[in-house]
Amino acid sequence: MEENKSKVTLHGMWASTYSKRVEIALKLKGILYEYVEEDLSNKTESLVQLNPVHKKVPLLVHDGKPVAESQVILEYIDETWKNSPRLLPEDSYERAQVRFWVSYINEQVIEVMRKVLFQEGEAQEKAIEEARERFKVLEEGLKKHFPNKIIRENDDVGLLDIIIISTFGSHKDYHELFGVGIIDPVNTPTLYNWIESLKELAVIKEAEVPSDRLVPFLQMYRQMHLQQAANT
């Protein structure tokens, strides 16, 4: 654990997977930080002033200097605190592969997960099929490019692992919500086992959101979006 010699503050929101990414990275690196929980319908003045472009969480403030956008924050953390675990591999090709699959999750998989969450009926069924296809691509990519992946301790965790666990760690809650499972041991064994291995780590358990809190929130969030869509 690297000695913390500076002031670090994270503005986040408990159910935000993007905030969770940063929280996990800070805990993995052993960085002491102050956490500010944001009510996104009544944001703090600090958040609005320090992140004037997006006014969103997560926002990292390091010695008074704000850093926004989860992906930017994660790379900033890795470049600033060079202690283990390093979030990106030293090998340039391995680093490129990690960045590619992180990008695929951010741009392709999360987009289709949103469709599943915020649609219903035939549109949702179509989104679920689309999600299965994209998860199949992800499964094959993980199996091909990271065949020897082993997760036993914190030092085995990097950027891709953080994105995987923060984005998909609650997949069983989504299954409970919709009655449809997309990540499972049969169709996506590599991804499923990857998630299960990460969940064994104490640092991941510490950051986990309990199902009895997350599922009602997702139900409310979904209904709110469906209602807004119906009124437009």
Query: For residues 58 and 12, is the Cβ–Cβ distance under 8 A?
Result: yes
Tell me the C-alpha distance between 6 and 187, whole Å: 45
Do 128 and 222 have their domain in common? Answer: yes
Asked if 176 contacts 138 with a C-beta cutoff of 8 angstroms, the reply is no
pLDDT value for 5: 65
Q: How far is residue 114's CA from residue 210's CA, in Å, rounded to a whole number?
A: 21
- Length of the chain, please? 232
Nearest CA-CA partner of 88 in 143, 35, 29, 165: 29
pLDDT by residue, tens only, the chain of 232 residues: 444 468 999 999 999 999 999 999 999 999 999 999 999 999 999 999 999 999 999 999 999 999 999 999 999 999 999 999 999 999 999 999 999 999 999 999 999 999 999 999 999 999 999 999 999 999 999 999 999 899 999 999 999 999 999 999 999 998 888 888 899 999 999 999 999 999 999 999 999 999 999 999 999 989 988 888 888 7
For residue 87, is it within any domain? Answer: no
For residue 133, give its domain range.
Answer: 92-229
Q: What is the tally of structural domains in the chain?
A: 2
Q: Which of 29, 21, 32 is nearest to 57 (CA)?
A: 21
Query: Considering the domain boundaries, does residue 193 fall inside one?
Result: yes
Q: What is the CATH number of the domain that holds 197?
A: 1.20.1050.10
- The residue among 159, 197, 179, 173 whose CA lies nearest residue 72 is 159
Smallest CA-to-CA distance from 188 within 109, 88, 98 is with: 109
CB 158 within 8 A of CB 87: yes
For residues 61 and 10, state if they share a domain: yes
